[in-house]
Amino acid sequence: MNLSEVSAPVAGTTVGEELHELVADLYPICTSITGDGLREMLRRIGTHVPLQVHEIPSGTQVFDWTIPREWNIRDAYVKDGLGNRVIDFGASNLHVVGYSTPIKTRMPLAELKEHLATIPEHPDWIPYRTSYYREAWGFCLSHDSLLGLEDGEYEVCIDTTLEDGHLSYGEYFLPGERDDEVLISTHVCHPSLANDNLSGVAVATLLARTLAEQPRRLSYRFLFLPGTIGSIAWLSQNQAGVSRIKHGLVLTCVGDSGNPTYKRSRRGNAEIDRAVEHVLAHSGGDYEVIDFSPYGYDERQYCSPGFDLPVGCFMRTPWGRYPEYHTSGDDLDFVRPEALADSLEKVLAALSVVKNDATYVNLNPYCEPQLGRRGLYRSTGGRKDESERELALLWVLNLSDSKHSLLDIAERSDLEFDVVRAAADTLLDHDLLEEVAG
């Protein structure tokens, strides 16, 4: 599968441009792990795919965690003695520490500074900070701005509410011929950070729309969740059904200009791990594959030992490895249409491998069948050239002993999966193979 199969974008734009426009559309929303910003985020995604939005009440126990109170923000600022807003939430969502408690008071600069975060190494970037599970308030600003603050009294206002409400998340289920599910999970809780993770949201959205328009052998489940608490909540409320998840990917940081990076599932050799690696290895470009570690995004929860689901993480430059990470530097210029499109294409290709893999038994296992008689083989012997197609036929025949899947064969033969799959289809057409019930 490739981009030509992606759900057709609006006339005159490329897939990459459409993805970037979606990122740009979501960029202004002040989303968080709960609240109306998050609801707005899900509503806009819902204009592209028919998302089902779930609401879980504050206080609900989800495994070891509790759904927190809902956070909403109307305004926030710091005013100097002249009444000028020296820090203004209206200018950037990142200026307020996420989940800041409400405050309205006056204080001298020295006291205020204890609540200010900057990045001295990148003095013009605003950092992104949250304090979900410890009550606190704070502002983030550029280091340059901090240096410009003069001694004196400041008026501090954070007009937020932190009250019982709900945690919201979006779910989109695409049934297929089989109950076996592919899980695609992406976090939607970061405001105004383009790569982390509006890029993941955009790619997941177009992926969902594309798969919705195709016949489906497998079922697909898309989760647009607040990070950590969202996946914990979903797993807690859907524990009985997780055994249907046969393959999964967390999508995050998929729009920067770095090479693709794949982080394996905890199992390390799950079919999704092998499929993504196969696609990357045959892509012709540089890439990196890294082992699972229990640090990162929601794969931490899917790969916790009680679940140990075959869920890997597809990224470009991994979180924390680029300086713009969790700063205002992660803006709309930082994500690139061609990188977004490439991520979507590679994820589609990996899901195509997973979908089309199967195991067969050669019905003519004693010596090779006479392919030439069936028009499947060149008729003139003695020539040096051999086509990849013929080689794939021979590999599939040789290894189809009910112990090797097509992906196994592709790996051992170093042929592309699609070539191996096509060879199997040809042999099936000639009654030379039979699928092994898996």
- Give the footprint of its own copies on this chain (CB under 8 A): 62-65, 97-98, 127-134, 136, 228, 231-232, 235-236, 239, 266, 291, 293-295, 300-301, 303-308, 320, 325-326, 362, 364-370, 372-373, 379-384, 386, 391, 394-395, 397-401, 412-413
Minimum CB distance to its own copies, residue 275 (Å): 22
Minimum CB distance to its own copies, residue 152 (Å): 27
**Residue 384 CA: distances (Å) to CA of 83, 97, 133, 380:** 84, 68, 69, 11
Side-chain half-sphere CA neighbours of 385 within 13 A:
5
Strand duo 52-57 + 166-174: pairing: antiparallel
What tokens appear for 273 in the block?
Answer: 């791990």
Minimum CB distance to its own copies, residue 116 (Å): 13
Beta carbon nearer to its own copies, 7 or 252: 252
Minimum CB distance to its own copies, residue 293 (Å): 7
What is the helix (H) or strand (E) element at residue 428, kind and residue range?
helix 417-429
Beta carbon nearer to its own copies, 227 or 337: 227
Beta carbon nearer to its own copies, 90 or 306: 306
CA dihedral 411, 405, 175, 200 (to 10 degrees): -20
What tokens appear for 354 in the block?
Answer: 């997973």
Beta carbon nearer to its own copies, 151 or 414: 414
Task: Give the whole-angstrom CA distance, residue 131 versus residue 57.
Answer: 20
Minimum CB distance to its own copies, residue 133 (Å): 5
Q: What are phi and psi of 435, to 5 degrees?
A: -70, 140
Beta carbon nearer to its own copies, 48 or 430: 430
**Residue 270 CA: distances (Å) to CA of 155, 245, 347, 374, 410:** 55, 12, 16, 37, 16
Minimum CB distance to its own copies, residue 207 (Å): 25
Beta carbon nearer to its own copies, 20 or 187: 187
Contact 420, 413 (CB under 8 A): yes
